[in-house]
Structure 1
Amino acid sequence: MKNKIIFTFLAVLTLSSVILLNKEISNIPPLGKFLNPYNGFWKNSEINQKKVFGKINLNNLRDSLIVQFDSMLIPHIYAKNDEDLFYTQGYITAFHRLWQMEFQIKASAGELSEIVGKRALKRDREQRRKGITYAAKRTLNKSVSDTKTYKLLSSYVRGINDYIENLNYENYPVEYKLLNYKPEKWTLLKTFILMESMSDMLSGRDMDMEDSYLLNILGEDKFNLLFPEYDNKIKPIIPEGTKFNFNVSKINPPKEKYFSGPLPSTISKPHKDNGSNNFAISSNKSKDGSAFLASQPDLSLNLPSIWYIIHLNSPNYNTMGASLPGAPGVIIGFNENVAWGETNATRDVIDWYKIEFKNNSRAEYRYGDKWLKTEKVIEEIKIKGEKTFFDTIIYTHYGPIVYDKNFNSNKEKENFAMRWIAHDESVEYKTFLLLNKAQNIYDIENALQYFHGPAQNFAYATKQGDIGLTIAGKFPIKWEGQGKFILDGSNPEHEWKGYIPYEHSLSLRNPENGYVSSANQHPVDKTYPYYYYSHNYEMYRGRRLNERLESLDLISFEDIKKIQNDNFSYKAFEALPVILPMVDTLRLNKNEKKYYTSLSNWDYFSNPNLSDPSLFVSWWKNINHNLWDEFDTMNYSYRKPNSFVTTKIIRDNNDFEFFDNISTPLKESIEDIINESFSEAVKSLNSWKEKNIKKNVLWKDFKNTSVNHLLNIKSFSKDNIEVGGYRNILNAASERHGPSWRMIVRLNKNAKTEAWGVYPGGQSGNPGNINYFGEIENWGKGTYRKLLFNKSFIDNKNKIIFEKTYYKE
């Protein structure tokens, strides 16, 4: 069996290299070196895990420690001091994930051109103009003053570098050999770039440019109809009617609120599906008297996984959960006394300011009746095989000017500066290091005051039975509507008005209903005295989650698993009763009638072996395209109304001007669009069946959930995973996004803390390791693995595949 696995890996890797060299990467590695049987890619096969772990060499310990690996390849580190603990975390994380760590930093910092050549230049320029590294440097400088945090961060970095220093070409991760480059020394700055990259992923999606254009085209009334800020049907995270025991002076908006100046195209933005679900159940609402924490971050599905599961134990820590490769501690996890998990808080923390320069030198810009000086930064972008590219980025007091005459096809030659909360100095790592050793709900709430971004909904539970939720982050104080559209950088009244004090943050502790939850929906109703906004609040998952929790008087562990894997489509539940009656069944042919009848009887669950979800998604996609086709004629960046608004407009507006399909000479009604879209959907499904040689359009096959390698190498990826769910569903497994980590923690004051988890991948980032695909199959099925968690090293040898004591040298 082992020989078969080795042969398969080598054959697949050979095929991958041929595809990669011939089609994907122009910079071909030296073939003799790459194919060398003694130190080339052949050496990356890893079947015997004990032999693999024997390569771990911890040279710089202050005292002895024990490292154990369980059957999931989760490391359990038992150290006698914190410096050794985080040093070893850094070393072992790099041991499994070094290439991923460095590649993601290169991508975030705008340095991919060094590796893959000119094809990455546009993206590198975007990343540098967004100021990712600029923000990381500011945060690093701030963190140096916190000596305790700085010491642990430095220990983590030292562990990574000790691993790198022991490498030679033979044991480089295979991706270095494919791309023909070598690892660089790790730095503290890279660790902070990682955190800023998370800010970019979770808070970097704004629509200010797009909405400024749409406001001018549509007018304020029509814009507000198509893109409303709030709907009373939504259940916010903080329950409606919550009283706030503080008063805030109202900020009156300036006379000139909005500024025009749209762009033909904007910088690339994070995926709109980035989100999550989390909830906590109090001991009074659970069947066994335990408190529960459930966390499920929905992010891009990649190999290697965004998460690395680890158990950290020292006199001050006994923490387990999901860590970010490149960052110390645990980000979503638990210890003996508390558990916590985050979802994206979905707040608008990026604003754009139009800048007026004094002259073509761009050395000064107008601010009120003054001319302020700019700072020019020359970015040197190294390009593999070509000359270095130099890009001049101008900084204002708002932040970097991302769009100017030199970038992004800016035909109007407008200048727009980016004001982003992530550019402010902060100490996020302190929050997580404090959470990792928190003992009670007060420790948790104290830790969260140091968290600035990306804004997150932290849900938590404790062994004492307490539960809570805090929407943590640094939020600017704004006047009503500020930041929805482009602002005037020359008008001081358009500045942010300070920041919401932490004591005014939105928080719940031990609510009477026995649970707290969040799913990227609106944070609070309109009684909250501070203005808040996002264009991207989730309109379905939060309602489904709350309804499931409210429907159960007492909740069990099995109930929580079912909730996390719930495939009910709230979107279909609301849309189908509106659009199905509009179908003219007398005009349907036999094949169309068959589809219609099946969809009419569908229970709205997007389970993997059903065809109805395939028809609904295809039909709704066509409706969206045909209904909003006018938007596709626009010359500038834009967005379309979301599904929630679309359903409402179809239901409530019989004579809406957008109902006409502009691609035809006739004037269509909404019924015409619904029927045409249905026929198109049936045709597309029949074509899909012919092309894929399938009798049915099963949902699992049609959506084809895939977990792709970061280089999109097919043989290093896993496609067509058998999993249900979709966008706007609690089990949010779409084509390339979904639950990146599912965790459930049970805390009971009379029993040992227990936890279960699963994620779509394996601990090892090496495609030649038999654990590389890890838990993907279990993840798709909705099954969990119980996590091994002890106060002291695990003495059950049947569950431990490797153990070694390392000594101070």
Structure 2
Amino acid sequence: MLRPSMKRLLRLLALLLAGAAGLLVLAGVAGFVYLRASLPQTEGRIALKGLTAPVEVVRDRHGVVRIRAGSLWDLLFAQGFVHAQERLWQMEFQRRVGQGRLSEVLGEATLAQDRFLRTWGFYQAAKSAYERLYPEEKEAVDAYVAGVNAFLASGAPLPPEFALLGFRPESWRGPDVLVWAKMMSFDLSGNWEEELLRHRLLARGVSPERLLELLPPYPEDAPTVLSAEDLRLPLRREEAPSALLPMAPPRFLEASNNWVVAGSRTATGKPFLADDPHLGLQAPSLWFLMALEAPGYRAVGASLPGVPGIVIGRNERIAWGVTNVGADVQDLYLLEEVGTGYRYRGQVLPYRVREEVIRIKGGREERLKVRETVYGPVITDALADPPKTPMALRWVSLDPEDHILMAYLGINRAKNWVEFQEALKLYSAPSQNFVYADIDGNIGYIAPGKFPIRREGHTGMVPVPGNGAWDWQGYRPPETWPMVLNPKEGLLVTANHKVTPKGFPYALTYDWAEPYRAERILELLRAKEKLTLEDMKAIQQDQKSLLFRDFRPVLSLLNPLSERARAWRERLLAWDGTMAPSSEEALVFALWYTELTRLPEKEVGEAHWDEPRYLLKALKEGDKNCDQPETEYPETCLDYAALALERALDRKEALKAKAWGEVHRAAFRHPVLTHTPLRRLSDRQVAFGGDRYTANVGPFDPQSLTMGHGPSYRQIVDLSNPEGSLFVHPMGQSGHLLSPHYADLLPLWARGDYLPMAFSGEGRTLLLEPGR
């Protein structure tokens, strides 16, 4: 789930560790004994101070955990304890990211990252939110934190990463839980980067009109999540942004699919609900599979280590799934500086200066002065290449109050649509496409969140003056959120594409994902009169590329330069577009398309411009970037496409690859151990198919062709037989290298298999008992 800047940070971190004296701890027999001793206890009894009654923890043969407790406090206490048993290092790393305290244990290499994190003030926002939690919400957080701290106090050996880095974790506090929710919101809210991109392109001399060609708006004939007939709100004539405010799909926000199908369209007569959030692939996995049971609370699904409750899943009566809306809840404000202040509403206001002390491994300290405004921090101060004009950030996740955890507690316990809808009224950010189904046969959709109300003319697409004239005017009330219960068509699909139909009263964002995934899922759902559980599986595994379907006509127009290219043109024209890992055609198409994305490199200053509608229009109608200045004659765009095919085939030969999966591999790297001698134990790669636009998504780095994002979790809930529902995630349940559950789920995930998503299950039993 980490952005490219964080990935660079992790590479630096690992290089530091490669020569660390801490590796000696793990050498030889003594190291092996230490590693074995630090595996979690999974059977017997453990006495823990803070529990009020015994709690049963059952781990099945795949390491899936089922916890049964007599109260919600004990249940969440035990969840915190088990998360710490299995994923303590991951939780420690996550909270240090949120705190901006990496340099304390990693040294100078992470200083720039800490400056960035401290400038945004994630942990400051988490502390503020914790102080304002509702009593029940605070009790849930405190119970979870008490469970984590009970593990730290238990005397169990720490995971090997702590020995490598030579430190012990501090006790956990309430804000440590909330800060990871802030970081998840950051990872799924990229509008500030989109605003900076447009600002940069305009500064390069790209005209507003040209921006609309390079970054085409969402197509009018493409599907939307909701139709006009689904909505009860009055529709209006939609106002398009002016040419000065171009609309652009995100460069790559983590994507996801979910859908829900009514019983009228299924063979069982009851709904199916499917979800597969596409997030960063990592070791250990982002998710942890659990079933949690206490009086008044029974939920099973995917949990996040470091956070209480179930994020995606089901209870006895309802099921839910989420994908990212990508709502625009961030704005950048251009500051007119006057002396040591800035102009706001006719006055010069002084910056509020927040001093952050960054401690660096080895004993040095750095004092960072963060400038704050009425909007929020001046985040351009933390950028490596800041724009000339400083900009402050307004973002809902930096608001002092945030009750997202209360929303999830309500979702976990909801018994029907009314209770589900009521729980989501407290939801803040990141806005998610929630699909819903229940055992009574209802299906529904809500996009909840704190959506800013902007004045007319302010679309949120580019930075605006921070003079008070463009301030937010509050948030949209819940009754105006996009939602529907039991839509007429009997199905709902979300794949990060546009939510609202033409005429919806306000814009959630203009940065929608390309509609290819949504179109393919809808195509498959509409292809059968009665859908089955096997159909749901097949859709989640589908890798047919509608991107190829769009680009195929271009191939037929090419006049390739060589016999080799002519032969491959005919092979591709005969291919069905399935990006299977075993397909050689998939490999050639992926390489050809990657070469096509180089088209506007000199104009935009980016090596790869993955904007398929811009590229298609250029290839069909011509574009100024197609003529190569280094040649003596003017090339057409079809000439450029033919040359791109030649280059793709040259690259294929250099790779010596015969199938897409030989080079397109899903990579799971451990943030600490990747560049150490332990990397062979820690890291994994598997052949994978697909591309950025297939339902079974497979985005790849254009240089390495490896896949760092993908289906981080899959679930299929059968509301006719909830205990027969399915889920899985890649890697495994444990974060420990020597655990049999470190990577045992990866083969299942790679071949499209699942585990039972059930409350029942046998396995090893650990009894947690109250202690003194």
Report the TM-score when normalising by structure 1.
Answer: 0.87
Q: Does 1:771 align with 2:741?
A: yes
Contact kept, 8 Å, 2:59 with 2:765, in 1: the verdict is: yes
Query: Which residue identity is paired with 1:417?
Result: A
Q: Does 1:687 align with 2:654?
A: yes
SS in 2 for 1:278: strand
Q: Does 1:340 align with 2:320?
A: yes
Aligned to 1:602: 575
Take 2:92 and 2:642, find their aligned partners in 1: how far apart are those partners?
Answer: 51
Take 2:664 and 2:184, find their aligned partners in 1: how far apart are those partners?
Answer: 27
Out of 614, 621, 641, the residue aligned to residue 674 of structure 1 is: 641
Contact kept, 8 Å, 1:258 with 1:486, in 2: the verdict is: no
Contact kept, 8 Å, 2:36 with 2:738, in 1: the verdict is: yes
Aligned to 1:184: 170
Matches within 5 A, 1:441-460: 441-460=417-436
Matches within 5 A, 1:625-644: 625=598, 627-631=599-603, 634=605, 640=609, 642-644=611-613
Matches within 5 A, 1:154-193: 154-167=142-155, 171-193=157-179
Matches within 5 A, 1:96-107: 96-107=86-97
Matches within 5 A, 1:230-269: 230-240=218-228, 242-246=230-234
Query: Which residue identity is paired with 1:416?
Result: M
Q: CA-to-partner distance for each residue in 1:344-384, whole Å, 9 max, x for gaps?
A: 0012221111112320xx2x321121223321011111111
Matches within 5 A, 1:325-724: 325-359=305-339, 362=340, 364-404=341-381, 408-410=384-386, 412=388, 414-424=389-399, 425-478=401-454, 479-490=456-467, 492-577=468-553, 579-585=554-560, 587-589=561-563, 591-625=564-598, 627-631=599-603, 634=605, 640=609, 642-651=611-620, 653-654=621-622, 656-689=623-656, 696-711=657-672, 712-713=674-675, 714-724=679-689
Take 1:210 and 1:639, find their aligned partners in 2: how far apart are those partners?
Answer: 14
Aligned to 2:3: none
- Call closer, same or farther: CA 1:535–1:52 in 2, change over 3 Å: same
Aligned to 2:7: none
Query: Which residue identity is paired with 1:760?
Result: P
Q: Does 1:738 align with 2:710?
A: yes
Take 2:666 and 2:37, find their aligned partners in 1: how far apart are those partners?
Answer: 27
Take 1:356 and 1:759, find their aligned partners in 2: how far apart are those partners?
Answer: 49
Take 1:597 and 1:495, find their aligned partners in 2: how far apart are those partners?
Answer: 57
- Call closer, same or farther: CA 1:765–1:243 in 2, change over 3 Å: closer
Segments of 5+ residues of structure 1 without an aligned counterpart are 1-18, 260-269, 690-695
Take 2:34 and 2:500, find their aligned partners in 1: how far apart are those partners?
Answer: 55
Q: Does 1:131 align with 2:111?
A: no
Q: CA-to-partner distance for each residue in 1:290-323, whole Å, 9 max, x for gaps?
A: 2211110000111111101111101111111100
Aligned to 2:35: 44
- Call closer, same or farther: CA 1:136–1:283 in 2, change over 3 Å: same
Take 2:98 and 2:14, find their aligned partners in 1: how far apart are those partners?
Answer: 27
Take 1:409 and 1:435, find their aligned partners in 2: how far apart are those partners?
Answer: 42
Contact kept, 8 Å, 1:157 with 1:187, in 2: the verdict is: yes
Take 1:210 and 1:27, find their aligned partners in 2: how far apart are those partners?
Answer: 38
Report the TM-score when normalising by structure 2.
Answer: 0.91
Contact kept, 8 Å, 1:72 with 1:774, in 2: the verdict is: yes
Aligned to 1:15: none
Deviation at 1:638, TM superposition (A): 10
SS in 2 for 1:203: coil
Higher deviation after alignment, 87-96 or 209-218: 209-218
- Call closer, same or farther: CA 1:243–1:514 in 2, change over 3 Å: closer
Contact kept, 8 Å, 1:210 with 1:638, in 2: the verdict is: no
Segments of 5+ residues of structure 2 without an aligned counterpart are 1-10, 700-706
- Call closer, same or farther: CA 1:375–1:55 in 2, change over 3 Å: farther
- Call closer, same or farther: CA 1:22–1:722 in 2, change over 3 Å: closer
Contact kept, 8 Å, 2:266 with 2:530, in 1: the verdict is: yes
Aligned to 2:291: 311
Take 1:134 and 1:316, find their aligned partners in 2: how far apart are those partners?
Answer: 33
Aligned residues: 744
Out of 704, 714, 719, the residue aligned to residue 747 of structure 1 is: 719
SS in 2 for 1:605: coil
Aligned to 2:764: 801
- Call closer, same or farther: CA 1:213–1:247 in 2, change over 3 Å: same
Deviation at 1:386, TM superposition (A): 4.8
Contact kept, 8 Å, 1:541 with 1:729, in 2: the verdict is: yes
Q: Give identity over the alignment, percent.
A: 28
- Call closer, same or farther: CA 1:130–1:71 in 2, change over 3 Å: same
Deviation at 1:630, TM superposition (A): 2.2
Aligned to 1:207: 194
Contact kept, 8 Å, 2:284 with 2:731, in 1: the verdict is: yes
Aligned to 1:263: none
Aligned alpha-carbon RMSD (Å): 2.8
Contact kept, 8 Å, 1:276 with 1:297, in 2: the verdict is: yes
